[in-house]
Chain A
Amino acid sequence: AQSVTQPDIHITVSEGASLELRCNYSYGATPYLFWYVQSPGQGLQLLLKYFSGDTLVQGIKGFEAEFKRSQSSFNLRKPSVHWSDAAEYFCAVGSNSGYALNFGKGTSLLVTP
């Protein structure tokens, strides 16, 4: 079954520093991969997605992610983090349940001054 693993439960970065959140997937064919962000007490918002084509994907809020088939990874990056980026980040992959998604357990990002 398709699945994703987010190895880091919590990450702390300083404001202005670069960020990389890791995501590894398990999938038999070309996966559909997503990154969502959840601010406290809110629903999930799509940051970016990959399903074909260019392996470097640009998203909203200055985020990008790179699909690496050889490493089964889809890591999320941002060159300079802002305090407002503090949130929970979820990586997800398309599942066998219709068009539902399988989510990772999330990475909580804390941004320090």
Chain B
Amino acid sequence: NAGVTQTPKFQVLKTGQSMTLQCAQDMNHNSMYWYRQDPGMGLRLIYYSASEGTTDKGEVPNGYNVSRLNKREFSLRLESAAPSQTSVYFCASSAGSDGETQYFGPGTRLLVL
């Protein structure tokens, strides 16, 4: 099993450009999440999808949109990239109940110039 996969691995954007980060899981998990990781800040939740068909804002949702395309896929879109969105983005999934382990993808490194 691949677990959680993310594409692309690395991306450079210019300010104002848009892009979509893709995430897919093959563990039949109900819940999926997008986090960003910045130096000295740990991981912060951008958006989450507790179950197929639902999405909700996390701690830092401004400048992002998400789509839960189906049970496997959860994409993150930057409509107009800003330098403040330079970060490492992690997708994760879990079965969808308290105490369940979250499984993380390898991350997407995004640089916005």
Residues of A bordering B, CB below 8 Å: 9, 32, 34, 36, 42-46, 49, 51-52, 90, 94-95, 97-106
* Extra contacts besides A9-B40, A90-B42, A98-B33 (5): CB < 8 Å: A43-B107, A46-B102, A49-B101, A98-B50, A99-B97
Nearest CB of A to B44, in Å: 8
Kindly report which residue of chain B lies nearest to residue A104, judged by CB atoms. B42
User: 1/0 per residue B58-100: CB within 8 Å of A?
Assistant: 1100000000000000000000000000000010101011111
> DSSP class of A's interface residues: helix, strand, loop or mixed?
loop
Sorted nearest first, the 6 A-B pairs with minimum C-beta distance are A51-B99, A98-B50, A43-B104, A103-B42, A105-B42, A103-B43
Report chain A residues within 8 Å CB of B105: 43
Q: How many A-B residue pairs have CB under 8 A?
A: 71
Contact B42 A43 (CB under 8 A): no
Report chain B residues within 8 Å CB of A97: 45, 48, 56, 58-59
Contact A43 B101 (CB under 8 A): no
Contact A43 B99 (CB under 8 A): no
Kindly report which residue of chain A lies nearest to residue B91, judged by CB atoms. A43
- Whole-angstrom distance between the alpha carbons of A9 and B90 in the complex? 21
Contact A49 B99 (CB under 8 A): yes
Contact B31 A98 (CB under 8 A): yes
A94-B99, A99-B100 as given contacts; A44 in contact with B90, CB under 8 Å = yes
Contact A105 B40 (CB under 8 A): yes
Kindly report which residue of chain B lies nearest to residue A9, judged by CB atoms. B40
Contact A99 B106 (CB under 8 A): no
- Whole-angstrom distance between the alpha carbons of A91 and B4 in the complex? 21
Q: Is residue B2 within 8 Å, beta carbon to beta carbon, of the partner chain?
A: no
Report chain A residues within 8 Å CB of B94: 99
Partner of B45, one of A43, A44, A90, A95: A95
